[in-house]
């Protein structure tokens, strides 16, 4: 009985906090960033849980101390912010992979829980003469269009990096057992020919091994994507320099 009263009290207290969540500076930083980046979905926070527009909830921090690999394989929402995405860092240090950890259930919830569900939200975007598919959800496709407009201003010599892009594909991360951001229609790979991927240069290495950083994609391209809410695989120790991913929560203040 006593437990039940406590539970009821906690529940009503939770509702009170929820009403003030939008302006409460005591919210975890990551929650504030999620609310600002995904206003259509993330509506509030109470009792350690993020509240969605459909009334469902998701634990923000599971409280577990995770190793690098555990964080990559089963990130909660809080783990996505464990390494801050610093646009001043150009050559990443050991295991510096900002945004590479994704809370899969969060992305499934917003973009679709299956290949066909994700596909129902895809729209066509003009990519330098190529038609590519991208998620309309959260303004991702519109942000990609803004990227195209800005990339078009670069000298013609940059075009070779951009041609032959690929986007949606419901698949696991290369060499790993977790879903790639391409599965949600929020990632684009630019020209593979001028790109580098850590596993291609270091076959057989594990994620904990030391590798040598490599990148040929010009910084101007990277910075244009970032201005529109995309993170870049050029920033990662586990470099994937063709890869750009719509993750506005990592770029908002
Ligand atoms: Zn990619």
- Identify the weakest region by mean pLDDT among 1-5, 59-63, 124-128, 159-163: 1-5
Span from the CA of 25 to the centroid of ligand 1 (angstroms):
35
Q: What is residue 103's predicted lDDT score, i.e. its pLDDT?
A: 97
pLDDT at 243: 98
Q: What is the pLDDT of residue 171?
A: 86
Q: How confident is the model at residue 77 (pLDDT cuts 50, 70, 90)?
A: very high
Query: What is the 18 CA–ligand 1 centroid distance (Å)?
Result: 36
Tokens read off for 1? 């009985």
In percent, the amount of the chain with pLDDT more than 90 equals 85
Start-to-end C-alpha separation, the chain: 45
163 Cα to the center of ligand 1, angstroms: 14
Across 72-93, average pLDDT: 95
Ligand 1 centroid to residue 242 C-alpha, Å: 6
How many angstroms is it from 31 CA to the middle of ligand 1?
26
Q: Domain extents for the chain?
A: 68-250
Instruction: For residue 33, report the distance from its CA to the centre of ligand 1, in Å.
Output: 23
Q: Are 73 and 89 in contact (CB under 8 A)?
A: no
pLDDT digits (tens, 9 = 90+) for 1-29: 344 444 444 444 444 444 444 455 689 99
Distance between Cα 52 and ligand 1 center (Å): 28
| Cα 179 to middle of ligand 1, angstroms | 11
Q: What percent of the chain has pLDDT over 70?
A: 90
Residue 3 has a pLDDT of 45
Q: What's the confidence (pLDDT) of residue 177?
A: 75
Spatial distance between the Cα atoms of 61 and 72, rounded to a whole number of angstroms: 15
Distance 30 CA to ligand 1 centre (A): 24
| Segment 40-63 mean pLDDT | 97
Q: What residue has token string 């990551």? A: 30
What is the phi/psi pair of residue 160, to 5°? -60, -25
pLDDT tens figures, 156-195: 999 999 999 999 999 887 777 789 999 999 999 999 999 9
Mean pLDDT of the region 200-221: 95
Residue 34 CA, ligand 1 centroid: distance in Å:
22
Closest CA to 138 of 15, 205, 39, 2: 39
């Amino acid at each position: 009985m006593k437990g039940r009263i406590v539970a009821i009290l906690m529940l009503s207290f939770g509702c009170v906090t929820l009403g003030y969540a939008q302006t409460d500076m005591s919210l975890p930083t990551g929650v504030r960033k999620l609310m600002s980046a995904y206003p259509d979905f993330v509506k509030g926070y109470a009792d350690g849980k993020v509240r969605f527009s459909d009334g469902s909830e998701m634990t923000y921090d599971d409280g577990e101390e995770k190793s690098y690999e555990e964080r990559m394989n089963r990130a909660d929402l809080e783990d996505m912010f464990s390494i801050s995405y610093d646009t001043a860092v150009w050559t990443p240090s050991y295991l510096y992979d900002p945004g590479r950890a994704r809370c899969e259930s969060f992305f499934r919830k917003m973009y679709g829980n299956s290949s066909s569900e994700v596909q129902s939200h895809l729209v066509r975007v003009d990519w330098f003469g190529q038609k590519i598919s991208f998620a309309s959800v959260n303004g991702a496709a519109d942000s990609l269009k803004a990227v195209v407009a800005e990339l078009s201003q670069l000298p013609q010599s940059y075009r070779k990096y951009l041609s032959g892009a690929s986007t949606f594909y419901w698949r696991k991360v290369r060499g790993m057992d977790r879903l790639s951001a391409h599965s949600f229609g929020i990632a684009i790979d630019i020209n593979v020919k001028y790109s580098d991927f850590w596993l291609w240069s270091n076959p057989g290495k594990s994620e904990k091994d030391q590798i040598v950083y490599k990148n040929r994609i010009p910084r101007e391209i990277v910075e244009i994507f970032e201005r529109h809410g995309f993170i870049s695989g050029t920033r990662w120790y586990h470099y994937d320099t063709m890869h750009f991913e719509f993750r506005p929560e990592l770029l908002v203040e």
